Chain A
Amino acid sequence: MAPSKRRIDTPSKPGTPRRNGNASAAVVGPRRAQRELRADRLAGRYSLVQLEIVGWIVVAVVALGIRLINVDGAPLQPTESVLAIDSWRILSHEGIQLGPSPLLIYLNTLLFLLLGATDAVARLLPVLVGTAVALSPVVLRHRLGKVGALAAAALQATSPTLIFASRTVDPTILTVGLGLGLVLVAERYLRTSRPWLLYAGAVLIALLLMSGPLAYDLAIILIGFVVVSGSEGVRDSLTTPPGDGDPTALDGGGSKPGRLFGSHELSGTKLGYVAMAFAGTILLVGTGLATNLEGLGVSLAAPLSAWAASLAGFGPHPAWLFPGLLLGYEPFALLFGLGGAVLAFRQRRSFEVFLAWWACIGFLLLVLGDGADPTWNALIVVPLGLLAGSAVDALSAWFVGTEQLRRLAIFSAVACPLIATMLIAFGYVTLPNPVIPPEVALAPPLALLAFAASFAFGYDWRSAFHASAVLAAVCLLAFNVHAAMFLNPGGELNPAEFFTGSVTSLDARRMATDVGTIVDELGIAQQLEGRAVNQTVEVTSQFADPLAWYLKGDPNVEVVSQVTDAPGIAIEASTAKAPRGAYAGELFQYSDSAARPALSFTGLWRWWIYHEAGAPTGTYVKVYVKTQLARP
């Protein structure tokens, strides 16, 4: 096929020399002409590439990279190892125990089977799901705007909460991902009425219910939205004949705000298929591909009971935990998400209104319930991130001409140094021995305010507002990266973080390696020299997680409430009595915890910016090794 004329005759840029031989194919010969034709086709293909696509590629690489790189840097936390070891047990035929996320446990079993049971593989599924969640705005470009979708993806790619959830063996990101997938499928179905989306939705619901306790929070959010704003639409959809309704109600054009359901034909046959898809998924997944028939009930009950337990009222965490998490880790999503929500209501954009509902109800459920796990914050961050993208899109519409960009440049040139000054000044006054009086630190923010006011006065308040918003977006995105890197350092986690509390020490992993080596040597002595050695390893139950995971390959490992007489190796609290007999003892750090920051400006600032908190406190275990091998 002959290439288009536009592609062949790409005009050379003024002032740049023409390419050698670009003048005429006929003059330079057929082979050269062919070569140049290929080159022009190449250029033609690239001409279809928009910067937006480049942006998406960059975001995808960042999202995956930031989640995957050094994903096994931190040893598994006790809550992670409980889930991971359940998968391991299934794989090694040591019995089936389905925790609060049967789906995660089954999928991890599959991954362990394919790739081996390591820390990295245990976290692989959250990594992949987390990346998909971060990139999900790509299918919402028509709603969030192209810039908005990209901004939302960038935000979610760098969101500390979502990255943490994606690098943790925890069902949260899986549940949120499935919930988001369900919303996207519903949105697309309402636009296109394609039946396969119904079936996909049924499958997603089934998976969602087996994914973890957070699924029920999502169910409340979705059902609540339908009940509160869509009952009329539901009735219409069930009663209105095809063609009479508005199939694109979500687009808002003429529809009621928040109306989720348009008029779609839901025949009995289709509903039957939907039910079959739902039931089939439950059957297949709930029974672990028919390998565990008893698991069917447990797969549905376990997440539900975990969720019910989480609603026990005000739990161990204070009421300010989730608001604090949003402010401390997700100020970008919070600030711009609120902006996006305001815009959604003002512009009557039903999808964004739904996102606002999601965020609000999710927030209430987390605050009111026992919730407990800070990772559940991901439930709110996702809708807020999408709303924030919508807000950024609206913001970008302002900057279309050179005049706005010029004003933005002027604003940034003055405001950025002032922000830097503010950071330095606050750093100074929050030192243990401040080098300047605290009042002096007020000067930079006041100067910033004064400048913004004078800028608004000199130009107009809209310019000042938009320039401030852009600067805030850039700074908060930088903060996102900052908080994300500190929350997910790629090594031992920081116990000062609210997401972590007590963290497993890197030393625990080394201890497991050392113990493994000793057991191996004992085994060698037994096999080669026929010595009667004692290879039993007793771990007291308080340290079973994650030590049992790290010692999982050893059949001699036993979790005991108290060390018995004369095991080969005993692992117990450093303050406990040693086992009886001749033992060599070695201290290892099991975990680290840190006091929460003081509720003062100094404490909170130094925690927020430098992630400092109280002095860490280590929990230590002592490994006693029976002296059985005569070593030189």
Chain B
Amino acid sequence: MAVAERRYEPQYESREKPFWLRPVSTAIPIDRELLAFLVLVLLAGLLRFWDLGSRMLHHDESLHAVYSYYLYIGKGYVHDPLMHGPFLFELNALVYFLLGVTDATARVAPALFGTILVGLPYLLRDKLGRTGAVVAAALIAVSPTILYYSRFIRHDIYQIFFMMLLVIATFRYFAERKTWCLYLAVVATSLAFSDKEDTYFLMAILLTFLLGVSRQDVLDVILKGKEALSPATDLLILLSTLILPMFAAAPYFFLQHSSETTIDVVFAISFAILFGTGMFVGLRWNRGVWTRSAVVFWGIFILLYTTFFSNPNGFSSGVFGSLRYWIDQEGVARGGQPWFYYLVLLPLYEFLSVGIALGGVVYWLRHRSLFTTFLMYWCLSSVVLWGWASEKMPWMVIELALPFCLLAAVTLGKLIEVTPWRTVLHQGGLLLALTLALTALVAATLVGQGSPFNAASPIVAQQQAFGWVALVALLVGFVYAVWHYWDKVGGKTGWKVVGLTVIALFVPFSVRAAWQVSYYHGDIPVEMLVYTQTAPDVGLVMQQINDIAYRSGEGVDKLQVAYDAGVSWPFEWYLRDYTSRAYIGTGNPPPNAPVVLVGYDNGRADQVKQLLGPNYVSQRYRLRWWFPEDYRTLSPSSIVQGLLSPTNRAKLWRFLLYRDPPDPLGSTDFVMFVRRDLAYGPWTAPQAKATTADQGLYAQKLRTVAATRVVSATGSGTVPFAEPKGIALGPNGDLYVADSQNNRIVEVNASGQFERAWGTKGTGNGQFNEPWGIAVNAHGDVYVADTWNHRVQMFDASGTFLRSWGSTPVGQPSTAPGQFYGPRAITIDASGNVYVTDTGNKRIEEFDSTGKYLTSIGAPGAGLGAFDEPVGIGVDRSGNIYVADTWNQRIEKFGPDLKPLLSWPVEGWDSQSVEGKPYLAVDGAGNVYVTDPENNKVIVFNSNGQLLADWGTLGTDTTSFHLPTGIAVDATGDVWISDSGNGRLMQFPPVH
């Protein structure tokens, strides 16, 4: 009946009112003290959560954010000692699950722990004193370093949180000796080990202190099996026996050059010995508590390090790998900071806490208590241990800041409590404080003024002297007032008022420092705490990439962004939604990639620039930037010399007060390359166009050329031309015109007389929907690009329909081979093959003379061989093909084998309108004539792209055009232009 005995039936009748229905005051005794804590926690929450995502993720943050993200999206997490323990990643994955994946949510967990940390002193108020506890909460809430790193995804905020829990558990156990305190300590220790290897230091501090307290007692327990007399002994034995196996990798100090097998064997033996020893001592101490604690400690550790059993190797990497890795890192000394690094950072940011704490040391050495002794020991040992460790980083300052905050709080709390406030309030104490403050202010102003007697001119000297005398007079007056009120309140109270006044004067500066570093300079390394921070430029670049994803029509899932090893962090995070992104390491970017990001250093950017060629525009940005670390070379003599120099003193003052760095900020940069067709446009950077063509040369080559013949209404039959587009010359010299808006083809003889016309609007055979392109083969067959029917129609010389191909059904664009999307122009080579610019599909298609599909070239893009709105096309006698690649603003030349040979820029073609479609023709000498419709010009190049001439302007006379579009060159070299807007054809002599 054992089961039946264990069964529990709730007795509704006798049950008490649940706790949530009792008054809060019975569940939680709310009083002013607790209200103060609540307010401070709320304030801390506000400070920590406000605008959490505005700063770009730091390099380390991006690593943490990305690997948490991988865990969240189902890719798991494999513990890597490089990034410390797994706690951060698993917690962050949970936050992503709940709140989504953004920069802000990546920082939510640290902000939450940083907020709760502020409330923890409440649990230590019997040690800190009630006032001291509130002060501690306030100091932690606005501590510049703790605030900054509560808004930063690193492990350190969790470390100090767990240390705080350990301290609470320790001193609550000292006071109450209840088992829950031991379990709390065990949980905190296990979580701390699952967070970061600094836990070794934390444990060293706590356990050595406990050892000092328990002394003989611990030996009696271990050696003689006596019951522990001191609570410190309980904690010492429990924690040390549990964490003993965590030192299994310690022999690595001596095995760094041994084989992996040897190391593994030694580690295993070491682990077995240490675990066995710990268990033996622990069970001897208290079988039940130790067993339960071991289950909790190792349960948490195993769960987290194996990522909830999904990474079995995590256990060994956690127990052995972490310590081993950081033993190796001790030799690396990452950061390369001097030994006094924290001695610079601490007073720079935590001057309030450190100052009060140092004052407290003087007091507490005379009025010693266990708690304050521990705090002093914690402060001292933190400075020594973290200062000794070779890797020094600004985020570790918070490991030092916490004990200083607590020591400062207990000191200030005591000072507030022992101050006779009646005397202070009613017998001149406040006036003493005020006059002290004013005295300090005036004295500081006097010092800041410098000497009044070496001014540039007598008048200035006189003014300065008057000011100086006035200040001296004020100072004397205030000093007298201080003396007066000092006398009134008495020396003992006077000293307390002095202390409180000094602290009150520094509080605003401390708050200001916190505000500046966390918000105002959050990502600007004029602060030493802002360490190799990702520059805001990264955000700008991401905004541009997002724009390109929109503008190109690719979207984030299709836009290919290539990025190299130099920029992988933080771009691995910021490009996470770009599923087509390509990491290229140190290799070459893929051809035609829309966006390429490469590191700038070591000539990498120049190499890539050469490789990408002129089809890309580029811009250099800052990736990470940093504070000028001149302090690394400081020595006592240089400090003294520096302080003796007025210039240096001024620099120091400006840095302390305004964070003006003494030297320019350093940075490591990267370059963003954008394919020209994506960068250029009416809304994008003008720099994108800067290298397209030499505008000055165009001005030099500009000519005035008059037409020798103009064919207008008379040549078009009974109906005038309506926006004639493409034109072509037949073998008999007749001119064929795609009369686009009349939806017909017009044939004009060499003297400009109308011969015939055919076609109407429609989709049937011989009907058109805006014919644009036209070509005639050696037999006189006419090929027409029936543009908006998306097909090519073929007629004999008399205009009889022969066949058509392309759109099926007629009018429907298609990307299939042999199909079209708005074909604009046609040309025919010497062998009779037909080339059609399939403009909307951004390619050229080749057919035989009967319309049989042969091949196609080109793809969307700006690389050589790619197109963006190809229109005009021509072929020279050698079979080379020239294409007007309109929106890339260039002409591309292909060999007879359709391999791209070269391209050159065209100054013009800058409209994307439906009218601005340029055509080209090649004369017998290989010169290329192109029209520039919306600039009303014709431009002539030689076959290598050298500009020969350009002519034309807007108008209606024989030297002017309105939308010159189609172009053809006859056997004599005369140039025919369809002046589309003026509805006429114009004949010009050869222009070279």
B-contact 0/1 string along A432-458, CB 8 Å cutoff: 000100000000100000000000011
Cβ contact within 8 Å between B915 and A581 = yes
Cβ contact within 8 Å between B18 and A396 = yes
Q: Does B10 contact A (CB under 8 A)?
A: yes
Q: Does B681 contact A (CB under 8 A)?
A: yes
Q: Which of B765-815 contact A (CB under 8 A)?
A: 788, 813
Q: Does B97 contact A (CB under 8 A)?
A: yes
Q: Does B254 contact A (CB under 8 A)?
A: no
Cβ contact within 8 Å between A424 and B74 = yes
Bound state CA distance, A486 and B10, in angstroms? 40
Given contact pairs A50-B21, A55-B20, A606 touches B74 in the complex (Cβ within 8 A): yes
Distance in angstroms from A548 CB to nearest chain B CB is 21
Cβ contact within 8 Å between A51 and B22 = yes
Distance in angstroms from B558 CB to nearest chain A CB is 8
Using Cβ atoms and an 8 Å threshold, which residues of chain A touch B29? 13
Cβ contact within 8 Å between A421 and B10 = no
Nearest B residue to A429 via CB reads B74
Bound state CA distance, A53 and B10, in angstroms? 26
Nearest A residue to B787 via CB reads A577
Q: Of B268-276, B306-314, B641-649, which binds chain A?
A: B306-314
Cβ contact within 8 Å between A428 and B18 = no
Cβ contact within 8 Å between B310 and A47 = no
Bound state CA distance, A507 and B8, in angstroms? 61
Q: Does B7 contact A (CB under 8 A)?
A: yes
Cβ contact within 8 Å between B73 and A427 = yes
Q: Does B257 contact A (CB under 8 A)?
A: no
Q: Of A219-227, A277-285, A398-406, which binds chain B?
A: A398-406
Q: Which of B1-55 contact A (CB under 8 A)?
A: 3, 6-8, 10, 12, 15-16, 18-27, 29-32
Cβ contact within 8 Å between B25 and A47 = yes
Cβ contact within 8 Å between A587 and B550 = yes
Bound state CA distance, A492 and B143, in angstroms? 37
Which of A54, A580, A618 counts the most chain B CB atoms within 10 A? Answer: A618
Nearest A residue to B741 via CB reads A580
Number of A-B contacts (CB under 8 A): 182
Using Cβ atoms and an 8 Å threshold, which residues of chain A touch B74? 424, 426-428, 430-431, 606, 609-610
Nearest A residue to B2 via CB reads A458
Cβ contact within 8 Å between A582 and B3 = no
Nearest A residue to B24 via CB reads A49
Number of residues of chain B lying within 8 A (CB) of chain A: 62
Using Cβ atoms and an 8 Å threshold, which residues of chain A touch B12? 397
Q: Does B557 contact A (CB under 8 A)?
A: yes
B-contact 0/1 string along A52-80, CB 8 Å cutoff: 11110000000000000000000000000
Using Cβ atoms and an 8 Å threshold, which residues of chain B touch A400? 10, 15-16, 18
Cβ contact within 8 Å between B8 and A17 = no
Q: Does B552 contact A (CB under 8 A)?
A: yes
Which of B72, B130, B553 contacts A17, CB < 8 Å?
B130
Q: Does A146 contact B (CB under 8 A)?
A: yes
Bound state CA distance, A155 and B20, in angstroms? 18
Cβ contact within 8 Å between A421 and B912 = no
Nearest B residue to A407 via CB reads B8
Bound state CA distance, A183 and B912, in angstroms? 61
Using Cβ atoms and an 8 Å threshold, which residues of chain A touch B225? none
Using Cβ atoms and an 8 Å threshold, which residues of chain A touch B31? 39, 43
Using Cβ atoms and an 8 Å threshold, which residues of chain A touch B896? none
Nearest B residue to A431 via CB reads B74
Bound state CA distance, A400 and B73, in angstroms? 39
Bound state CA distance, A584 and B25, in angstroms? 70
Q: Does A290 contact B (CB under 8 A)?
A: no
Which of A397, A481, A514 contacts B683, CB < 8 Å?
A514
Cβ contact within 8 Å between B303 and A583 = no
Cβ contact within 8 Å between A16 and B18 = no
Cβ contact within 8 Å between A577 and B76 = no
Number of residues of chain A lying within 8 A (CB) of chain B: 81
Q: Does B913 contact A (CB under 8 A)?
A: yes
Using Cβ atoms and an 8 Å threshold, which residues of chain A touch B97? 478, 482, 609
Using Cβ atoms and an 8 Å threshold, which residues of chain B touch A587? 550-553
Using Cβ atoms and an 8 Å threshold, which residues of chain A touch B20? 50-52, 55, 146-147
Cβ contact within 8 Å between B100 and A485 = yes
Q: Of A197-205, A327-335, A370-378, A620-628, which binds chain B?
A: A620-628
Cβ contact within 8 Å between B23 and A48 = yes
Bound state CA distance, A17 and B307, in angstroms? 45
Distance in angstroms from B7 CB to nearest chain A CB is 5
Given contact pairs A43-B31, A485-B100, A583 touches B911 in the complex (Cβ within 8 A): yes
Cβ contact within 8 Å between A578 and B913 = yes
Distance in angstroms from A209 CB to nearest chain B CB is 39
Cβ contact within 8 Å between B553 and A589 = yes
Q: Does B99 contact A (CB under 8 A)?
A: yes
Using Cβ atoms and an 8 Å threshold, which residues of chain B touch A609? 74, 97
Which of B6, B30, B100, B555 contacts A46, CB < 8 Å?
B30
Distance in angstroms from A622 CB to nearest chain B CB is 8
Nearest B residue to A440 via CB reads B310
Q: Does B75 contact A (CB under 8 A)?
A: yes
Q: Does B916 contact A (CB under 8 A)?
A: yes
Given contact pairs A42-B32, A52-B21, A424-B71, A507 touches B550 in the complex (Cβ within 8 A): yes
Using Cβ atoms and an 8 Å threshold, which residues of chain B touch A160? none
B-contact 0/1 string along A389-426, CB 8 Å cutoff: 00000001110110110010000010001001100111
Bound state CA distance, A52 and B74, in angstroms? 38
Cβ contact within 8 Å between A431 and B10 = no
Q: Does A240 contact B (CB under 8 A)?
A: no
Cβ contact within 8 Å between B914 and A425 = no
Distance in angstroms from B541 CB to nearest chain A CB is 18
Cβ contact within 8 Å between A404 and B8 = yes
Distance in angstroms from B748 CB to nearest chain A CB is 25
Cβ contact within 8 Å between A582 and B916 = yes
Q: Does B126 contact A (CB under 8 A)?
A: yes
Q: Which of A576-618 contact B (CB under 8 A)?
A: 577-589, 592, 606, 609-610, 615-616, 618
Using Cβ atoms and an 8 Å threshold, which residues of chain A touch B98? 478, 481-482, 485
Which of A39, A51, A426, A507 contacts B21, CB < 8 Å?
A51
A-contact 0/1 string along B95-139, CB 8 Å cutoff: 001111000000000000000000000000010001000000000
Distance in angstroms from A488 CB to nearest chain B CB is 10
Nearest B residue to A54 via CB reads B24
Cβ contact within 8 Å between A581 and B913 = yes
Bound state CA distance, A420 and B300, in angstroms? 13
Bound state CA distance, A444 and B306, in angstroms? 14
Cβ contact within 8 Å between A615 and B23 = no
B-contact 0/1 string along A208-239, CB 8 Å cutoff: 00000000000000000000000000000000
A–B pairs, 22, beta carbons within 8 Å: A39-B31, A42-B32, A47-B24, A47-B30, A52-B20, A55-B20, A397-B12, A401-B8, A401-B15, A404-B8, A417-B308, A420-B90, A420-B308, A457-B3, A459-B6, A460-B3, A478-B98, A486-B100, A507-B550, A580-B914, A586-B683, A587-B552
3 closest cross-chain pairs (CB), A and B: A427-B74, A583-B913, A585-B912
Extra pairs beyond A51-B19, A401-B8, A577-B914 (12, CB < 8 Å): A15-B175, A17-B126, A47-B24, A49-B23, A51-B20, A397-B12, A401-B15, A427-B73, A457-B3, A579-B914, A584-B911, A585-B912
